[in-house]
Amino acid sequence: MQTVRRISQGIFLLLFLFLFVQTQSKGADELGYPVKIFLDFDPLIFVTTLLSSHSVQKAFYFSLVIIIATLALGRVFCGWACPLGTLNNMAGAIRKRRPAVISISWNRVKYYMLIFLVASSLFTLQLAGIIDPISLLIRSFAISICPLFEYSVRGLFDAIYAFHPAAADRISEPVYSVLKQGVLSFQQPSFNQSAFIGVLFLVIIGLNLVQKRFWCRNLCPLGALLGVLSKYSLLKRSVSEGCNECGACASVCQGNANPDKKEGWKNAECLYCWNCDDICPQNAVSFGFGGGVRGVGIDLGRRRIVASALGGIITVPLIRVSPLASSVSLSPELIRPPGSLEEGKFLRRCVKCGECMKVCITNGLQPAFLESGLEGLWSPVLVPIIGYCEFRCTLCGQVCPTGAIQRLSLEDKIRVKIGLAMIDKGRCLPYAHSTPCIVCEEVCPTPRKAIWFEEAVVKDRGGREHILKQPRVDLDLCIGCGICEAKCPVKSRPAIYVTNIGESRPGGKQLLLS
Amino acid sequence: MNRREFLKLAGITGIGLSIPFEISPVPAGGAVSSETKLAVATGSSPSEITKAAINAFGGIRKFISRDDIVVVKPNMAWDRLPEQAANTNPEVVAAIVRLCYEAGAKKVKVFDRTVNDARRCYAQSGIAEAVRSAGAAVSYMDDRKFKDMKIGGEAIREWPLYQEIIEADKVINVPIAKHHGLAKITMSMKNWMGVMGGDRSRIHQKLDRSLVDLSLVIKPTITVLDAVRILTANGPQGGSLADVRKLNTVIVGTDQVAVDAYGATLFGMKGSDLGYVRIAAEAGLGTMDLSKVNIIKIDV
């Protein structure tokens, strides 16, 4: 059974990686298979989003499949499908020596986390995405692991090319071009906080050396949710009379399910990995529908449940009583992707999965730090100097699993204002330095250009007169895409730059009268 | 390739390219050869008028030899659709690729350094698909292939240029004629910005002079100016169909200054109204005086 399970895990991991790589533009308007499909099947995101925003994307009803599967088969998702679980499995295999069965009761922590998240989402705070395994995995891969991997691969091939271009053309370059087409991103991605997010992920993977599947046993809130459902599952484990309590099964259990305890088997902790069945020298363990052991419940302790719930509730005002979180004092750099909901509603939905950042065609969408308060940590924010918002691109709205970024038609997208550009006359070449430029006007993408120019007569140092074109911004037409800022030749601090003033989403900072 | 090799190559190519089929002296010091010829073909099929205009020069075989590696350089810098006239007409580019293969070219390469995202520009312009089906090798720019080169111009002394265009046996420039805020109109000479590496926005400080400097080192075998649709305002990327005019015209020539001078007339201007055309003519790069150009008009 172990082989069958590993094949299943492999298929789901490969499927995840395939969809992840596909979450990238090929130049067409529509994206084929975004990785959001995995999130669509995630019941934790479904439940918390439903509670926090009182609305849910239709695609989330796919997660009912996982709920029904769990009710029928127990936590098979954890044991057989979850890509993070599979990675934990693989990392755990590095440690050959069987760890002593740690008898700590940390496995309850995940339930407290679940209670915390559900309680806070009930009061409109959506924090589940931070530690939901699927969201966490996509984010870690998009922001950190994938850029790290690509940097190494590119570095390797570039080094070979630089060392001996002719040999590289014959040997390494064909491999490189296959990788470029099939695996690597179009450009080397790079993100703020990449190292931070990456280290967190590596810590989770590294914890497998302390205890195999440490994350799945002790921390994963989705595992906790499925564990609760698993109590009612139809597929049960039973131990026949042949058991001589040798304890072999306890050493291979991937959860903390007490398989050696016969009647004390913890249903909710069982990942249905079948290891106990495989290893049993007496062949006494079997899984089957009907009959079997009911399994013991999880004793979380009433006080701790209440404390976790209260913790979740108190976190709501704790995080929100910050001047950063109020709409007037939102950071001017908080430029949300086009189609984003009003800030409050946006935060209730965004699960910080990082798919929009992965798919962003210019790499301009970056994980926020405190631009929108603590609540907005790792939510997407456009940093035009890194990458502008491509005029005819609608991909971020296509991949957003929760509708925090609405899917826009092309006609709507090109009218949405995400901010406004303003000119710094003290740095702009035609204004401050009587030097022709007008690159901002050239690249301005609105059909009637939002950046226009005035011809002005200016004198140079020698007193000679020159006619110069000086850029002006038409605030009615400007949509704040930021290409002017990205392409401005005054690279260090662009002479034209976008802030979120004038964004067209409701509750945004308005500027113009009409 | 070192600097000396490049100069040698550029020199040889330049001489080779400027006298494609007639033995005429290399124009120097503003001297204008009366042999300068332009073919202007008009008709409803972009590929047919392209062929007809090239045939007026005796056919593609006058320019492309067997086993040549040819670079066909369209303008596909913008994430726009063909009908928006911000990029070269895909049918024109594809027709040229086909002609090159008919003449026995070994390989035809098509690329451009785009301003918008390259994937979208290549796809949305329709050019990548059209030329791929004609057999061309379409590639995105590879940063490693930009090498610093001596330009030796007044505005640009040195700049990274794309090696594939320098190393090609033949280069066919296929720009589109369209409006531009600073240059007024962009055509063939401005199209060389698409093989520049580095931060090219800086050349806007001396745009006209820079374009001439570039055109002095990158010389096409032949220039095919696409005026099937022209963009008359809000260029160089446009976006509004109201700014597009359909002229169903293609202009072919071996003198890029003459081509651009003729292109100016499509917008109601003269070559001398454009700074870079004026400077190029003064530098002896070609002729802008259309009265001295043999213009063959073809209706297809």
Backbone angles phi, psi at B298, to 5 degrees: -125, 135
* pLDDT surpasses 50 at B22: no
Closest CA to B138 of A188, A359, A27: A27
The larger pLDDT score, comparing residue B121 to residue A166, is at: B121
* Burial of A339 (C-beta count, 10 Å sphere; 0-12/13-18/19+): buried
The most distant pair of C-alpha atoms in chain A lies apart, rounded to whole Å, by 105
Question: Tens digit of pLDDT for each residue in B196-209?
Answer: 999 999 999 999 99
* pLDDT surpasses 60 at B17: no
pLDDT tens, position by position, for chain A (514 residues)? 889 999 999 999 999 999 999 999 999 999 877 768 899 999 999 999 999 988 878 888 899 999 999 999 999 999 999 999 999 999 988 876 655 555 566 888 999 999 999 999 999 999 999 999 999 999 999 999 999 999 999 999 999 998 888 888 888 989 999 999 889 999 999 999 999 999 999 999 999 988 889 999 999 999 999 999 988 888 888 888 888 888 888 888 888 888 888 778 888 899 999 999 999 998 888 888 876 666 667 778 899 999 999 999 999 999 988 776 666 667 899 999 999 999 999 999 999 999 999 999 999 999 999 888 889 999 999 999 999 999 999 999 999 999 999 999 999 999 999 999 999 999 999 999 999 999 999 999 999 999 999 999 988 888 899 899 999 999 999 999 999 999 999 999 999 999 999 999 988 788 888 6
Q: Which of B79, B118, B204 sits opposite A438 (nearest CB)?
A: B204
* pLDDT surpasses 50 at B182: yes
C-alpha A43/C-alpha B154 separation (Å) is 66
Question: Tens digit of pLDDT for each residue in B128-179?
Answer: 999 999 999 999 999 999 999 999 999 999 999 999 999 999 999 999 999 9
- Predicted confidence at residue B32, as pLDDT, reads 39
Closest CA to A344 of A363, A319, A361: A319
* pLDDT surpasses 50 at B24: no
- Report CB contact under 8 Å: B119, A491: no
- Predicted confidence at residue B20, as pLDDT, reads 39
Residue found under tokens 């030329």: B131
Count residue pairs from A and B with Cβ separation < 8 A.
Answer: 86
Q: What topology is assigned to A420-499 in CATH?
A: Alpha-Beta Plaits (3.30.70)
Q: How far is CA A433 from CA A133, A421, A437, B207, in A?
A: 54, 20, 10, 16
CB contact burial A233-264 (16+ within 10 A = b; e otherwise): bebbbebeeebeeeebbbebbbbbbbbbebee
Residue found under tokens 């809130």: A221
Closest CA to A379 of A326, A336, A332: A336
- Report CB contact under 8 Å: B181, A453: yes
Residue A446 near chain B (CB below 8 Å): yes
Q: Minimal Cα distance from A484: which residue of B?
A: B201
- List chain B domain ranges: 3-19+32-299
Give the three-class secondary structure for A338. coil
Centre a 10 Å sphere on the Cβ of residue A371 and count the other Cβ atoms it contains.
20
Name every residue in B having a CB less than 8 A away from some CB of A. Answer: 79-80, 115-124, 128, 140, 144, 180-182, 199, 201-202, 204-207, 234, 236-240, 243
Backbone angles phi, psi at A455, to 5 degrees: -90, 130
B184-195 average pLDDT score:
96
C-alpha A159/C-alpha A146 separation (Å) is 20
* pLDDT surpasses 60 at B238: yes
- B194 vs chain A: nearest CA distance in angstroms? 14
Which residues, including other chains, have CB under 8 Å from residue A230's CB and lie 6 or more apart? A70, A74, A75, A267, A268, A270
Q: Which residues of A touch B201 (CB under 8 A)?
A: 437, 439, 487-489
Q: What topology is assigned to B3-19+32-299 in CATH?
A: Rossmann fold (3.40.50)
Give the three-class secondary structure for A456. strand
- Report CB contact under 8 Å: A361, B117: yes
